[in-house]
Amino acid sequence: MKVLVSVKRVVDYNVRIQVKGDGSGVNLDGVKMSMNPFDEIAMEEAVRLKEAGTAEEVIAVTIGGDKAEEQLRSALAFGADRAIHVKVNEEVSPLTAARILKAVFEKEQPGLFLMGKQAIDDDNNQTGQMTSALLGIPQATFAGELKIDGNKATVVREVDAGLETIEVDLPAVVTADLRLNEPRYLKLPDIMKAKRKPVETVSMADLGVEAAPGLTVTKTSPPPARAAGIKVKTVDELVAALKDKGLV
């Protein structure tokens, strides 16, 4: 079985985000960028399937500018066999990304498409579902556990009420949640080997994809500063303060 995994270049989760002074967006000058953490989990799961003999080939795909190749090299260091870089220099909406990933899926014909459940930059949680709908194949989102048995996948999903177990026919889109696995630490030999693995570069035109109408961001602003807390000496003072604020 061939496994396709999408990865996205995002601001590293340890970085404190700074908004530009004019409110036009987030300041990315000199900011550390990394692979989206949920995509790391998806990539780790794909590599584990290959190590277990369930998958024969793992292919990483990303959408973005020249610098996005760094994240593809990280995916190759995880254990992906090859990578596809769809070069797009402008912002990509979830629907455009889904159209691109649909075209890549149809080109590669994998048995399983693994994605992160969402990207930590926009938090849209849309691309996996849209890709599944465009392809007309099953989807299993928020996967906390994945088992492959022949042409079926059993997925334990994390939902508001707890856990839900579903079975889907393959091929399918599965989006990874936090507890699916813990990604491995990349070792220097694997990083060096990744530099020699093939990366195919294509454009949206090569895939026959047109961009969907995008959204226009009118303003970006940081969250309001937290108000200072107060100290109370007794329970009565606490209750009075809560009543004063209309909280009880």
Domains of the chain, earliest start first: 2-220 (3.40.50.620)
Q: What is the pLDDT of residue 228?
A: 80
How far apart, in Å, are the Cα atoms of 22 and each of 15, 30, 32, 185, 215? 20, 18, 22, 39, 19
Give the C-alpha separation, 169 to 153, whole Å.
6
Q: From the CA atom positions of the chain, what is the Rg in Å? A: 21
The pLDDT-based confidence of 49 (bands split at 50, 70, 90) is very high
Q: What is the pLDDT of residue 89?
A: 86
Q: What is the pLDDT of residue 100?
A: 96
**Closest CA relative to residue 82, chosen from 9, 3, 8, 148:** 3
Give the mean pLDDT of the chain: 90
* Interval 139-147 mean pLDDT: 94
The pLDDT-based confidence of 77 (bands split at 50, 70, 90) is very high
Strand ranges for 101-196 from DSSP E = 112-116, 139-149, 152-159, 162-169, 172-176
Q: What is the pLDDT of residue 159?
A: 87
* Sole residue written with tokens 């959204």: 215
Give the C-alpha separation, 44 to 131, whole Å.
21
How far apart, in Å, are the Cα atoms of 137 and each of 7, 17, 113, 144, 212? 20, 37, 10, 20, 21
Cβ count near 199 (within 10 Å):
17
The pLDDT-based confidence of 110 (bands split at 50, 70, 90) is very high
Q: What is the pLDDT of residue 27?
A: 78
DSSP one-letter string for 52-65: TTS-SEEEEEEEES
Give pLDDT tens digits for 172-193: 999 999 999 999 999 899 999 9
> Is residue 96 scored above 80 in pLDDT?
yes
The pairing of beta strand 162-169 with beta strand 152-159: antiparallel
Pairwise pLDDT comparison (218 vs 70), residue with the higher score: 70
Give percent of the chain with pLDDT exceeding 90. Answer: 64
Pairwise pLDDT comparison (63 vs 91), residue with the higher score: 63
Q: What is the pLDDT of residue 16?
A: 84
The pLDDT-based confidence of 245 (bands split at 50, 70, 90) is confident
